[in-house]
Copies of this chain bind each other. A is one copy, B any other.
Amino acid sequence: MSTVWGSKIKIAVFGESHSDAIGVVIDNLPPGIELDMAEIERQMARRAPNGGDFSTPRVESDKVEIVSGYFNDRTTGTPLCGIIRNTNTHSSDYDQLKEVVRPGHSDFGYYHKSGGNNDYRGGGHSSGRLTAPLVFAGAICRQLLKEKGIYVGAHISSIGVIKDDGFDARVGAEMFDNLSRQPFPIIDKNKFNSMNFLIQDAKSNGDSVGGTIECAIVGVPIGLGEPLFESVESKLASLLFSVPAVKGVQFGKGYELTKMMGSEANDPFYNLGDKVFTATNNNGGVLGGLATGMPIMFDVAIKPTASIFKEQDTINVVTGENVKLNLKGRHDSCIVVRAVPVIEAVAAIAIYDLLRD
């Protein structure tokens, strides 16, 4: 099993939902960087389960202990390891999952892969909880990108069938910052009531809803990305599809492009005041795998949380019996809200990995 990622930097993520700790080793950070700890904590808090309206009742402070690679308030350039203790674990809630696998979940695959040795408590290593170390690594990468004038932001672009507006000409650092300070980051705030209704209605029915997240990255230098296997799109997609519940990724107009003629889809270049722009950005700032200098735009499809409280048909993997599952435990009824900072974080990691000397 492989949990090391990266070319120029490397991140190694470890942990399970109910293991003693989760964390990440980040290799090849530049030395001499004073980390903005307040900002890192703010990013961690955006993702952390806080027991609020859009979160599982499991509350975790997600405080990161940096145990290496940081000295006298600066990075040393050696591997920086951040550790997050798991504290609020009700492991007995998961006893029912020793043998019964949850539909829509990785339990079945892990049971087979590990010969029954998987840590079934809370999804183990495939838990959404493993995105906490990614947010930590992402927060560091974001700080490093900011120094180069590169900013990442995202918003909930849909919950179920209810759509938010898309990013527009205002996209940039200020808009991103505003969005990141909202508990429910959307552009058109009039959509909040409908979206919230879908979520709370699902929650009260023991069900769940999904949605999409739109993300943008501004300030990326022209030509960033590598041909073929390290294209901007490949790098981003390989990390985005590592985030639990992501089932689709599209860049720019994505699937809409397939319905356009080439003459509509192509983004005309023009030169204005010694800077090159494209009149449209249908291709989402990436052509042939390389950045065009326009905002990199993509969205991801997040499926509804697989852990629901409605009775479901499934099997007992040990006996092979067909059984009914009435799930216990604590789960988000809509993971989309807490996934926003995660999508931003992995976007930052991917771009920084391409950019790092």
Contacts and interface: CB of A to CB of B under 8 A. Distances in A.
Contacts of A78: 1, 3, 14, 16, 119, 124-125, 227
Given A103-B266, A209-B262, A233-B246, 17 more contacts: A14-B25, A14-B81, A16-B76, A20-B66, A31-B113, A106-B290, A208-B263, A209-B261, A212-B255, A234-B238, A234-B239, A237-B238, A237-B241, A247-B254, A262-B304, A262-B306, A270-B315
Interface in A264-301: 265-271, 274, 276, 278-279, 283-284, 287-292, 301
A83 interface: yes
A305 interface: yes
Contact of A114 (B77, B112, B276): B77
Interface in A100-120: 101-119
Contacts of A288: 105-107, 109-110, 123, 126, 244
A225 to B, nearest CB: 7
Interface in A78-105: 78-81, 83, 101-105
Interface stretch (A5-13, A37-45, A56-64, A170-178): A5-13
Contacts of A229: 2-5, 238-239, 242
A160, A251, A261 interface centre (most CB from chain B within 10 Å): A261
Nearest to A4: B10
Chain copies in complex: 4
A27 interface: yes
Nearest to A13: B228
Contact of A310 (B246, B259, B263): B263
Chain A contact surface mostly: mixed
B28 A1 contact: yes
A207 interface: yes
Interface stretch (A46-54, A67-75, A139-147, A185-193): A67-75
A19 B283 contact: no
A276 B101 CA distance: 12
A223 interface: yes
A1 B226 contact: yes
B15 A10 contact: no
Interface of A: 1-5, 7, 10, 12-16, 19-23, 25, 27-28, 31-32, 65-72, 74-81, 83, 101-119, 121, 123-126, 130, 158, 160-161, 202, 207-212, 222-223, 225-231, 233-235, 237-242, 244, 246-255, 257-263, 265-271, 274, 276, 278-279, 283-284, 287-292, 301-308, 310, 312-315, 320-322, 357
A268 B262 CA distance: 42
A93 B104 CA distance: 53
Nearest to A254: B248
Contact of A268 (B20, B77, B231, B313): B313
B130 A228 contact: yes
Given A262-B308, A304-B262, A284 B113 contact: no
Given A4-B12, A210-B265, A106 B289 contact: yes
22 contacts: A1-B230, A3-B226, A4-B12, A16-B69, A21-B81, A32-B114, A104-B262, A104-B283, A106-B289, A108-B269, A108-B287, A113-B222, A114-B223, A126-B290, A158-B258, A210-B260, A234-B238, A234-B241, A247-B254, A260-B304, A268-B313, A287-B306
